[in-house]
Amino acid sequence: MLFADVARVSGEIARTSARSRKTALLAEFFRAAEPDDVPIAIAYLAGRLPQGRLGVGWAALRDRAEPAAEPALTVREVDAALTAVAEVSGTGAQAGRRALLQDLFGAATEREQQYLLGLVTGEVRQGALDAVAAEGLAAATDAPPAAVRRAVMLAGALEPVAQALLARGPAALDDFALAVGRPVQPMLAASAKSVAEAVAKAGPCAVEEKLDGIRVQVHSDHGSVGIYTRTLDDVTERLPEIAATVAELAADRFVLDGEVLAFDEAGRPRPFQETAGRVGSRVDVAAAAQAMPVHAVFFDVLSVDGRDLLDLPYAERHAALERLVPEGLRVRRAVVADPGDPEQVTAAEEFFRHALERGHEGVVVKSADAPYAAGRRGASWLKVKPVHTLDLVVLAVERGHGRRTGKLSNLHLGARAEDGSFVMLGKTFKGLTDAMLEWQTARLGDLAVADDGWTVTVRPELVVEIAYDGVQRSPRYPGGLALRFARVLRYREDKPASEADTVATVREAHGGG
C-alpha cells in the first residue's frame, strides 16, 4: 500500500464531520488494503506511531529535503524508516536521526511530507478514529459490528483484529477471546452528579469506594503472575509485593480487576502522585517496595479457572470474587437492593460520606445486572465525586512571569471533540505547587512542537485532572464553553489522551453550558 493512499484518506476523514461518511471511507480503504499493511495504516490514520516517541525535536524537522515529484513510498517503507530513527542512540543521536529523517522526507511528495510532519509531531489529531474504524472494518468484511467491537476490546487494540479479519474474514473473530496472560481494555465509569442520581439510573446496585490509585488488571496462571495498567503496560516487575500476594490466592488461573495504592502510617491513602511515582519507578524496585509498599484492592473478576465471566451480571461476578479473594483485598461496598427505598438511598449517601472521610475520591455505583463491558464507558458504572472534575488534555502552555519566570505556567486545556481533535475550554495556572511547576516545565518542554516566545504549543498527549465550579457560555473559545474557576488537581500520566473527557460530556453535565 502506498503511503500516499493513507495520507489521502486521512485528509478526507478530517474534512468530513459525518460519521457515516467516515465509516464509508474507511470501509472502502480496508477493502483495497493488504492485511499486513493494515496495522501500520490504522496507527497512522489515528495519529499514532507504532514506534512511540522518536526523540526528535522541532529543529530536526524545520529544514526538510525537497519533495519527490511522484508518490512511491509504501507504508512498510515509512514504518521501517521510522523504526530506524527510533533506534538511533548514543553520541551524535540527534544528527543521526536528522539524517535519516532527511532521507525519508526526500522520498516523499509535498503532500506526504505534510502528513509525515503531522505524524512525527503528534499533530494528526484523530484519536477517536478507532471506534469509527471498527465500524468501517465490519462493513468491509460483512462482519457483525458488535462482534468486531468485542474482538477489539478483547485484543486490546484494533490492529490485530483488522489484520485477521481482512486475511480470513468474520470467522477470524473467534480467535479473540479472553485469555489469561493477554490483558483487555478495562471497563470505565461515566459520571453522575450525586449518589441519589447514580442509584436511580443504575437500579439495584452496589456502591463501592472509588480509590485514588493506579488501575491494574492482574492475570495469574498457576502462580505465574502478570500485572498490567489501564493502558495495558506490563508493570509486573515493578510490583513484586502485589505479585506475591496474588500468587497465594486459591485458584489456578484467573483475571482480576482492581487498583494498587499506597497508605500512610494512619492507614489513609497516600497522594496519587506518590503511588504513581512508586508504580512508575524502574530503579531498585526492591528498595522502593520496602520504602513505600503498595497494596492491591480488587473489585471485579473476569475469569476463573478457564471460565469467562465477562457476560455475567456484576452481582454474579462479585460472588465469584468473594469466593476467590479474601475480604481484606476487596473494595468496601454497600448494596442497594431497592433504589426506591429512601432508607437504602440514605445509607448509600452515608457510605459516600464515609468514603471521603477515609481519604478516597468518592464512590462508583455499579448496576447489579451489568456485564463487564471491556473498554466501554457507559451508564452501568457511575462515579460520584464531591466536586466537578474533568480529565482534560494540555494543548499549550504560556511562559510564566514574576516569581514564575523561567517556568511553563498557564495551561491551555482541551476536551475531546467527536472527530478526535481537541476543543479548548479555558486556561489555568491555579493549584500548581512549586514541584508541579518544575515537573510540568520539563515534561511540556519535551512535548513542544512550536514556540512563539510566549506560548509553547505541545503535542496533545498529557492528561490533567481539573476541578472547576461550573461552565459558562463563552464566545472566546471555539466550543462556546469555558470553565469557571478551573484549578489543577493532578496530572494523569496513567491515562492516554483518547480517554480524556469530551465536549459532549461537558455540555450534557451542565445543561448545554
Residue found under cell 516569581? 403
Q: Give Cβ neighbours of residue 213 (< 8 Å, ≥ 6 apart).
A: 259, 260, 261, 262, 269, 272, 275, 294, 297
**Cα distance between residue 274 and residue 433, in whole Å:** 15
**Cα distance between residue 421 and residue 409, in whole Å:** 23
Q: What is the DSSP string of 31-45?
A: HTS-GGGHHHHHHHH
**Cα distance between residue 337 and residue 330, in whole Å:** 20
Q: What angle do CA 428, 433, 434 make, to 5 degrees?
A: 115
Cell digits for 269? 491513602
**Cα distance between residue 504 and residue 485, in whole Å:** 20
Task: Considering the candidates 22, 193, 201, 210, report the single residue annotated as catalytic.
Answer: 210
Q: Residue 217: which region, alpha, beta or left (left: phi > 0; alpha: psi -120 to 50)?
A: beta
Residue 25: HSE in the Cβ half-sphere, 13 Å Cα cutoff: 22
Tell me if 98 sits within 8 A of 63, measured CB to CB. no
- Is 193 catalytic? The answer is no
Cell digits for 204? 439495584
Q: What angle do CA 138, 143, 146 make, to 5 degrees?
A: 75
Cell digits for 156? 486490546
From the list 1, 128, 22, 104, the residue with the least C-alpha distance to 56 is 104
**Cα distance between residue 394 and residue 422, in whole Å:** 10
Q: Which stretches does DSSP call E strand in 119-194?
A: 188-191
Tell me if 26 sits within 8 A of 13, measured CB to CB. yes
Q: How far is CA 214 from CA 68, 210, 391, 439, in A?
A: 48, 11, 15, 20
Binding residues for ATP: 208, 215, 230, 259, 299, 377, 383
Active site residues: 210
